[in-house]
Structure 1
Amino acid sequence: MITLTLLHPTKTIPLQHWTFKDESTIRIGRGIDNNVVLYSAVVSRHHLELRQKGLEWELESFGANGTFIEGKLITQTLAVDDGMVIRLASSGPKIQINLTSEETSSAPSTTQTQFQSQ
């Protein structure tokens, strides 16, 4: 199971959660055909993909404005670590990725707060 948490732009306050139990590919972007839709001018229609490979997850960025981890641009497919925070574009939305095994999982709370960056 994988949970994505949209974080407040300047704080580590969670704004919204998405939990995926059975999906092996999760698409994030501005386009409405993505699993996670983020309405931000700096987010591409199809910004990035998370793909499950066995027990592991990997991330691939397709966004014109890039995807960043700790201020560094992702330039290749990257293994996902539990708790990692990614930023879509250098000033865009921040998403925390949490990986949970089926045995230890419990349903996370869902917060539905609309986020739009300027």
Structure 2
Amino acid sequence: MITLNLLHPSQSTPVQSWTFDADSVIKIGRSKENDVVILSSVVSRKHIELVFNGSEWEIVSLGSNGTYVNDRPVKKIKVNDGMIVRLGNSGPKIQILLEVGDPEKVSKKSESKRSSEHDSDSSKDKMTYLTIPPE
């Protein structure tokens, strides 16, 4: 499983989180067609994809506004637990947490997540309006 934490613009505290299974491609951007929607002017419509290749996650940058890890632009990079990705030069930051462990434990969490998705409007859950204060 993978958890994405959208971090507060001026602090390192999460303001919203999403959790996904390891067998998925996660699309992040401004378009409502993405799995994670972040409405910010510096986020591209289709900004990044997180791709699980069977053994590890990779970030693939699709956005014309750039994707940064440790203040360096990246096009494609292996995901490390706890890494922070910035969308755009001055955009929102997403912390990535990887869960490794007992597959049975992971499976049970996935099932409970799936059932809660059907009970609510998932389009509301995935949309985040983000206002970044000027520096």
Q: Same fold judged by TM-score > 0.5?
A: yes
Deviation at 1:24, TM superposition (A): 1.7
TM-score between both structures, scaled by the size of structure 1: 0.86
Separation in 2, partners of 1:40, 1:84: 21
1:70 aligns with 2:84: no
Instruction: Report if aligned partners of 2:7, 2:16 keep a CA contact under 8 Å in 1.
Output: yes
Separation in 2, partners of 1:20, 1:46: 18
Moved over 6 A (4+): none
Separation in 1, partners of 2:95, 2:3: 8
Count of residue correspondences: 113
Deviation at 1:115, TM superposition (A): 3.8
What do the CA deviations read for 1:55-109 (whole angstroms, capped 9, x no partner)? Answer: 20001101111000111111x32100010000000111100000102526596xx
Q: What secondary structure is seen at the aligned counterpart in 2 of 1:32?
A: coil
Q: Percent identity?
A: 46
Larger RCO, structure (CA 8 Å, separation 6 or more) = 1
1:94 aligns with 2:93: yes
Root mean square deviation of aligned Cα: 2.0
- The 5 Å alignment of 1:101-112 reads 101-103=100-102
Q: Residue 8 of structure 1 aligns with which residue?
A: 8
Separation in 1, partners of 2:62, 2:16: 23
- Structure 2 runs not aligned, ≥5 long: 110-124
TM-score between both structures, scaled by the size of structure 2: 0.76
Larger radius of gyration: 2
Partner AA of 2:70 in structure 1: E
Instruction: Report if aligned partners of 1:29, 1:46 keep a CA contact under 8 Å in 2.
Output: yes
Partner AA of 1:35 in structure 2: D
Higher helix share: 2
Q: Residue 52 of structure 1 aligns with which residue?
A: 52
Deviation at 1:117, TM superposition (A): 2.5
- Structure 1 runs not aligned, ≥5 long: none
